[in-house]
Every structure is written in structure tokens, then in C-alpha cells.
A = this chain, B = another copy of it.
Amino acid sequence: MKKIEAIIRKSKFDEVKEALHQIEVNFFSYWDVTGVGNEKEGHVYRGVSYSTSDIQRRFLSIVVSDPFLERTVDAILKTAFTGTVGDGKVFVSNVEEVYRIRTKESGSDALK
């Protein structure tokens, strides 16, 4: 099983979510993070103009069984895209075990 962590623009979240549902990835968790990267955002506060690379992003954590990996990553890459700096990243890592608390199922059964 794989964990996909995607850091995307908040404004793209609805589209990504929609795309995930389309490929039947109906389970994930997300939260808001601050991202530091190439993109800069201009701010003005009380006369001080500044540009910050600390930008609000949404972090998605999705654990999928191996066969789902590719299509999930593809879906995100496609829908989170705008083409301008700051679209974000997708990270894939290995997950050794998964349990569903309600049924005590483990392994990819827990991801159905």
C-alpha cells in the first residue's frame, strides 16, 4: 500500500476532490498548511509591502492499495495543474500496514 501526499493550491481542491471521486478514491484526509516554495505572494500591511513565500496550501493524505497508485497520482497531477509557479507537489511513500478501526480489517481490505 502507498501513501500519496499532495500539496496543492486551495483553489484547486474542489476539482481534485471531484477527480478523485471519479476514479473511486473516496477516502482521504486533508488539512491546511503553509507552504514555502518558489511562489511569492505580494502583501501590503500598514505601509510595508512585502512578498512572502509562505502561502496557504492544502495538504492531502491518501493511502491507496498499489493498483490504485498510478491513477490517483495522475488524477491529482492533472486537476491540480494551472501551469504557474506554485502548483505544488505529490509525494509517494510506502505504507506497511493499514487497519480499519471499525472492522479491525487490515491490509488492502481496509482500504475498500
Residues of A in contact with B (beta carbons under 8 Å apart): 2-3, 5-8, 17, 26-38, 53, 57, 59, 61, 63, 73, 76-77, 80-102, 104, 110
Main secondary structure of the interface of A (DSSP, over half): strand
Known contacts A95-B92, A102-B87; decide if A35 and B26 are in contact (CB<8 Å): no
| Residues from chain B with Cβ under 8 Å of A80 in the complex | 101
**Does B31 lie within 8 Å of A26, measured CB to CB?**
no
Cα-based distance from A28 to B34 in the complex (angstroms):
9
- On chain B, the residues within 8 Å of A57 by CB distance are 29
Task: Tell whether, in the assembled complex, residue B96 and residue A96 are in contact, meaning their CB atoms are under 8 Å apart.
Answer: no
Interchain residue pairs A-B with the least CB separation, the first 8: A87-B101, A87-B102, A92-B97, A31-B33, A90-B99, A29-B33, A29-B35, A93-B95
Given contacts A101-B8, A101-B80, contact A93 B27 (CB under 8 A): no
Residue in B34, B86, B87, B100 whose CB lies within 8 Å of A29: B34
Whether B91 pairs with A93 at a CB distance below 8 angstroms is no
